[in-house]
Chain A
């Protein structure tokens, strides 16, 4: 059970400003049914450019609904420029804090606000667009968004980033990339690496090499494949040749297999040794596969 503050419970059970404003000046829509939460924010300005009214509709858990409700309360009466400065931290603070794993609800509030302001400034035409390049494909989170939550909330671990914007919380395949973004933003080594054994200096024994290949497959490659219903198995290692078999959806999809081979090779070269190359085991490719949809 989540520990919610009285403020969160109050705004969940008695949400303020529910609904949609007719002919609004700005509309912001973020999130989706698939992601588990979504927010539609509408606002109307008065003649002085202040937010006269703001309403919301939210699909999501208690903290998502409470965050949306508080957002409308925070921005009502503010000039647009002031409203634009509201951060996810303001929302969370107003609620007396949110459980760490629920911080993404406050971030969704800030995102909807931004989208609505953007929509207003573009004369009502512009829909919210993602800026930057997608890092987390499971939840559609970009590098720009990740950088921003790190900066605004002084985050230092991948787990925190996941709590704040969901990135890395699906298959986990992008966690390495998130680590790099944290390092870049914070300008220093993060406290602890979650996965990824550092590449060993010097020559590995054969047994060490095979173990490291297996470990890299287990930690770096399989989670991403699993998320898409596939799997990978290490069949053999002969000198620098790594023989693997793809299972499930990966085995049936030719193009995916081509890309996967490259991804696997890149990961093995990064974590084990530069000289490695990957081959698919033809014999096992013909066998029945897991996860037949």
Chain B
């Protein structure tokens, strides 16, 4: 059975051209970049090239790119590192809809005497910037707000938020794991101090990420040991991962047009057909400012895991914000923060596309999904026959 992969916000397929670059780095060129001999030392040039590729995608200087093990490490390092560098300030502002890699870190800070403000969002998942502004004070050390939401695809006005932070001299971090590679961004033209990205979300390998640190941003080193990454992140470099991520960034820059036209078109096709063919369903998230690849739809009166398993039978991969799939007993914190009623939160399905998806796959899904929804509704005690 063919796999139809609509779960690209979870992870993506590695581009063959990325794999090709990585291949020789395991058995052929396996040296340590810190070594004195030519065999190892030449790896430094490869890392330097990858750093340039990442910088080109982000619109920043290569020296502002620190390689990490992924998005979660970047988030942890940015938040803890920024706070450690300003020990006299004790307040952090974030949002209720952040990824756990940010939210859990912030909530843990509360246990260490920090005041954490979690901004709420409206029904479309949008922030109230006036509320944000009201919370910024002299004690505020850091504002951390995600670029785009992983569940709904809602894009926050990050440039504007970064400007508000900069006006008050507050450090600003954004978790851009879902945004990088999907929408163009240019760090030279805004006030973002710290930005996290992850390799495997943009057709690069798993286990590699980047923390962008604007020149002059105060950040305590977060992994102690050797001198790697200018002493900020010690540990022998993950050379294959770094080279792979560099290539993935280069390819992402070339495919923005495709993301914006073809992927968006496929997403819209899928979304429109589902909303039209299935009664009692609703779109979650901001329909205006949204990632071109993401669609989050709630099906009332039925439960997400059941829908996923039925889709799985046809080889269709998606994800859900229902309690049963989150591994906890509560449905998605993002949908709850948006005031999505429980009935709809339990029955939410996220489709996230990539440049590898085809119109044929979309049509196949449009054909298979409505009968699944019908079948489960026939089982549901909340639907009258």
Bound Cα distance from A170 to B328, whole angstroms = 8
Bound Cα distance from A18 to B374, whole angstroms = 14
Which of A34, A233, A288 contacts B135, CB < 8 Å? A288
Which of A34, A39, A65, A169 contacts B328, CB < 8 Å? A169
Bound Cα distance from A36 to B115, whole angstroms = 33
Which of A18, A20, A33 contacts B343, CB < 8 Å? A33
Bound Cα distance from A20 to B383, whole angstroms = 12
Shortest 7 CB-CB contacts between residues of A and residues of B: A169-B329, A61-B305, A57-B381, A61-B324, A40-B381, A34-B342, A36-B323
| CB-based contact B346/A62 at 8 Å | no
Contact count band on A: 35 or more
Q: Is B110 an interface residue (CB 8 A)?
A: yes
Bound Cα distance from A290 to B313, whole angstroms = 44
> Chain B 301-313, CB within 8 Å of chain A: the 1/0 string?
1111110011001
| CB-based contact B302/A59 at 8 Å | yes
> Chain A 35-75, CB within 8 Å of chain B: the 1/0 string?
01111100000000000000001111110110000000000
| CB-based contact A38/B120 at 8 Å | no
Closest residue of chain B to A18 (Cβ to Cβ) is B379
Which of A39, A162, A231 contacts B329, CB < 8 Å? A162
Nearest Cβ distance between residue B120 and chain A, in whole angstroms?
Answer: 6
Q: Which of B96, B304, B306 has the most chain A CB atoms inside 10 A of its CB? A: B306
A76: B residues at CB distance < 8 A: none
Other than the known A33-B382, A214-B111, what 6 A-B pairs have Cβ atoms closer than 8 Å?
A60-B306, A62-B305, A65-B379, A169-B328, A169-B330, A288-B135
> Chain A 1-44, CB within 8 Å of chain B: the 1/0 string?
01000000000110100111000000001000110111110000
Bound Cα distance from A166 to B331, whole angstroms = 13
Q: Is B378 an interface residue (CB 8 A)?
A: yes
A233: B residues at CB distance < 8 A: 110, 115
Closest residue of chain A to B327 (Cβ to Cβ) is A101
B302: A residues at CB distance < 8 A: 59
Bound Cα distance from A62 to B134, whole angstroms = 46
Q: Is A94 an interface residue (CB 8 A)?
A: no
Bound Cα distance from A38 to B379, whole angstroms = 11
Considering only residues 256-293 of chain A, those with a C-beta below 8 Å from chain B are: 288, 290-293
